[in-house]
Amino acid sequence: MDQERSGSDALDHKLRSLGDWRSKTLGHLRQLIQEADPQVAEDVKWRKAGNPLGVPTWEHAGIICTGESYKDKVKLTFAKGASLPDPSKMFNSSMEGGTRRAIDIREGEAVDEKAFKALVRAAVAVNLAGNPGH
């Protein structure tokens, strides 16, 4: 049944299934992503037995970021984060890789909304630059 849901419907279902602070946090980040890029496409990918509801993804000319939930944090991983300007030092995880960067948010932590939206817009710009046909 989940396989037949549209991307946004599947994401709604995933958020409802969390049902705690992680749902609220991921929902808030979703809203910020949509505000930063009204053309963003939502999907849920990489469904497997251990995670049947999959991993939320936001895309525009390629993946902008994914949103994973763990017991102690929500992790937003930017697919091309290493090539994004991050003057506010939002990235605090997955710093060792050459491509991706992530933001870990723990319960009760606030997100710098302006800086987060700037990262989303920068990620879209990088994707568009790499996909001139979009």
Beta partners for 56?
A: 44
> What pLDDT, in 10s, does the model give residues 5-52?
577 887 787 777 777 898 899 999 999 999 999 999 998 888 888 877
- Contacts for 49-53 with beta carbons within 8 Å, 24 or more apart? 52/2, 53/2, 53/10, 53/13, 53/14, 53/17
Measured CA distances, 112 to 61, 79, 91, 128 (Å): 25, 20, 11, 25
Look up the CATH number of the domain holding residue 96.
3.90.1150.200
Helix or strand or coil: residue 18?
Answer: helix
User: Quick one: pLDDT at residue 132?
Assistant: 65
> What pLDDT, in 10s, does the model give residues 67-114?
998 999 999 999 999 999 999 999 999 888 889 999 999 999 999 999
pLDDT greater at residue 29 or residue 54: 29
In a domain, 123, yes or no: yes
The H or E element that residue 120 is part of is helix 113-130
In a domain, 74, yes or no: yes
In a domain, 134, yes or no: no
Domain range holding 64? Answer: 2-129
Give how many domains the chain has, as a whole number: 1
Q: Is the pTM of this model over 0.75?
A: yes
